[in-house]
Structure 1
Amino acid sequence: MIQALLSFEFLQNAFLSGIIIGVIAPLLGLFIVVRRLALIADALSHVALAGIAGSLYLSQQVLFFAALNPVYLGIASAVTGSLLIEKLRGTYRDFEELAIPIILSTGIGLGAIFISLSKGFGSDLIGYLFGSVSAVSRQDLWIVILIAIVVIGFIYFFYNELFALSFDPDYAKVSGIHGRAIQIVFMIITALVIGASMRIVGILLVSSLMTIPVAAAIQLAKSFKGAMLYSILFGETAVIAGLVLAFYLDIAPGGTIVIISIVILLLALAWKTVKDKLNAFDVKGERSYDA
């Protein structure tokens, strides 16, 4: 595997991209889960699907789009979707959750239309839907690196504001934090991460990488920063193991990464259950001894 990794550029691109995505997707996903916005990742991924399908369709009709990386239009679509979600959440203040299914449905509808109009890009679309080890180009890698710098910089400089907005929005508002502006930037960055991850994990599965490692982490962590570290650890484990298995078994990496994430979650839940029972047994034993 190491020899192949050093010999083939596409493997280098895939693994370097995967390692970076294994950090930024769960890192941002933790804030998404804490803020109870997990379904936003699904909505934006489906909007990205519409952008990818639209780009592939336009590549058959317009020469300019034939030379354009479909990832660009996918990312642009996801960013547009994130802004529309925020707009709709402001419009439906008492029913903010409506914004998510509206945008998700729009993305699915547009994607279905472009797919039905287009012919001959089935294999390309499958790679975008479920990820592909061989399809990650050097250009894709540079996109991932650039987005990772933006994500890590944003979280580093606005960590306290994000933490306050996640756990105590009222305190954040009283403290003078510009919650609306930060929320808009947060949504845009979420869209960027989805766009960066779709080559490795796949459009339909990228939200899983942003939420399942977090779901496992919060079962074990005792603090927010602890959950952050666990999320990144579990995300990296799933991505690296998934890419290795996908390479050797010649299967879609997205599905493999998600299944490994699920296994990690089940192990975390089992460990938490055993630990709780042992703690309950210890407490019961102490009470019996005291009596």
Structure 2
Amino acid sequence: MIMEFLEPAFMQRALLAAVLVGITAPAVGIFLVQRRQALMGDGIGHVAMTGVGLGFLLNSSPVWMATLVAVAGAVLMELIRTYGRTRGDLALALLFYGGMAGGVMLIQVGGGSNANLLSYLFGSLSTVSEEDVTAIAVLAAFVLLVTFGLRRQLFAVSQDEEFARVTGLPVRALNLLVAVTAAVTVTVAMRVVGLLLVSALMVVPVAAAQQLTRSFRATFVLSVVIGTAVTLTGTITTYYQDLPPGSLIVLLAIGVFIVLTVLAAPLARRRARAAEAAAAACDARVPLTRRPSDDVTV
């Protein structure tokens, strides 16, 4: 049967989680790329590992615990970025590495296994539970509400903070909201692509879309389409082939980026020639004016 992958309950949960991740990750990633913070998701993923460990240690939901810890870590990262002048990089490094090391330690202390650890580091669609799907759906709804409802304000802050401040936007609050939304997205995606690969799914579809688009709206829409396509394709492929889902999804996204880059090269050259032709035509229509120095004889 062509659609036999829809029959198992675990695949239904996996596909739903994949769709939600494919939409939310690029929806947040576009603002991180605009702010030149493409690796922020990777740092948050390291911190979220401590939340996963606390979930095992306290016998509670690792997804919700990871969300709380990731949000706290993202807020701290934003505050360090804003106020940490000379030693900000060192503080962020300690936060990232400490979060990952603490998470691994807590998982072992809490009775988790290496299989549990790997499933959160690299994703494991076959172990997505109904509780995980519920948590992912609630968190994804929050992410989409923020990224769609406040996209103009978030774009303004991501593009130029000084201009946004002059126009009266609450820049500090919006920056913190971007950080919190990124943290929530990391925990949404960790069951699908894993904490170590989630940053790629937030950034690569956006970079791929930028090869063909020029406006923010077009980039937003195309990056979400690419993200959804690669997560669904990767999820379905792993049903038939024994492949790691997170790695496959990220490699598919990189493949799309390479293909669009190759296809965009002739388009870019055509646009460059058109711009040169328009500039030449404009110069031809502008009359030459005499400069005062032309009348001066030496």
TM value normalised by structure 2: 0.85
Of 23-32 and 161-170, more deviation after overlay is shown by 161-170
Question: How far is 1:4 from its partner?
Answer: 3.4
Q: How does 1:65-80 map to 2 (within 5 A)?
A: 65-66=58-59, 68-80=60-72
Question: 5+ residue gaps in structure 2?
Answer: 281-298
Task: From 153, 166, 186, give the equivalent of 2:178.
Answer: 186
Question: 5+ residue gaps in structure 1?
Answer: 59-64
User: SS at the partner of 2:209?
Assistant: helix
Q: How does 1:81-120 map to 2 (within 5 A)?
A: 81-93=73-85, 100-114=92-106, 117=109
Give the aligned CA root-mean-square deviation in angstroms: 2.4
Q: Which of the pair is proportionally richer in helix?
A: 1
Of 132-141 and 251-260, more deviation after overlay is shown by 132-141
Distance verdict in 2 for CA 1:193–1:279, change over 3 Å: closer
Partner of 1:10: 10
Find the aligned partners of 1:26 and 1:168 in 2 and give their Cα distance: 20
Partner of 2:159: 167
Deviations 1:165-184 (A, max 9, x none): 11121111011111111111
Distance verdict in 2 for CA 1:91–1:168, change over 3 Å: closer
Q: Work out whether residues 40 and 100 of structure 1, in 8 Å CA contact, stay in contact via their aligned partners in 2.
A: no
Question: How far is 1:120 from its partner?
Answer: 5.4
Q: Which amino acid aligns with 2:256?
A: I
Q: Which amino acid aligns with 1:3?
A: E
Find the aligned partners of 1:285 and 1:33 in 2 and give their Cα distance: 32
Task: From 124, 139, 144, give the equivalent of 1:147.
Answer: 139
Of 121-130 and 267-276, more deviation after overlay is shown by 267-276
Q: Work out whether residues 89 and 95 of structure 1, in 8 Å CA contact, stay in contact via their aligned partners in 2.
A: no
Percent of pairs with identical residues: 32
Question: How far is 1:109 from its partner?
Answer: 2.8
Deviations 1:57-109 (A, max 9, x none): x1xxxxxx33x221122112211111111222233146755554332122123
Find the aligned partners of 1:284 and 1:155 in 2 and give their Cα distance: 37
Partner of 1:224: 216
State the number of aligned residues.
Answer: 278
Deviations 1:96-128 (A, max 9, x none): 555543321221232343356566511121111
